[in-house]
A = this chain, B = another copy of it.
Amino acid sequence: MSGRREDVRRALSGCESFRSAQDIYADLRAAGSRIGLTTVYRALQSLSETGEVDVLRTDEGEAIYRACRTDEHHHHLVCRVCGRTVEVEGPAVEKWAAAVGAEHGFRDVTHTVEVFGTCSEH
């Protein structure tokens, strides 16, 4: 019954796209696991705190998660049809965000950037 956190991590690792907690729960149950939805949420919260997975929000406000290959700061290019996701870097954006903040006297500037499109398969 243990290792639920690992189950969740594995469910995410084997996947190219962002999934919601509900998706992951459904996947695991479909695969025969008796995991509870609560545990999925707790595992995801824990994994996101340690930085092992990235979290973002859909336009509908649902949280979606993905296992990331790198610990470094990066952004995502997501296919709006199939969810396929590419991790991208953006030095230009980092600089721009910092500059914009400084220009208006803001400190401790952070930013969120997500890019959506339709991938070549669709």
Contact = CB atoms under 8 A, between A and B. Distances in A.
Contacts of A38: none
Given A100-B88, A113-B112, A119 B93 contact: no
Contacts of A97: 115
A111 B114 contact: yes
Given A61-B62, A77-B100, A116 B110 contact: yes
Interface in A55-78: 57, 59, 61-63, 77
Contacts of A116: 109-112
Contacts of A105: 119-120
Nearest to A55: B59
Contacts of A107: 117-118, 120
Nearest to A63: B61
A96 B61 CA distance: 26
A84 B11 CA distance: 40
Interface of A: 57, 59, 61-63, 77, 79-80, 86, 88, 90, 92-93, 95-97, 100-101, 104-120
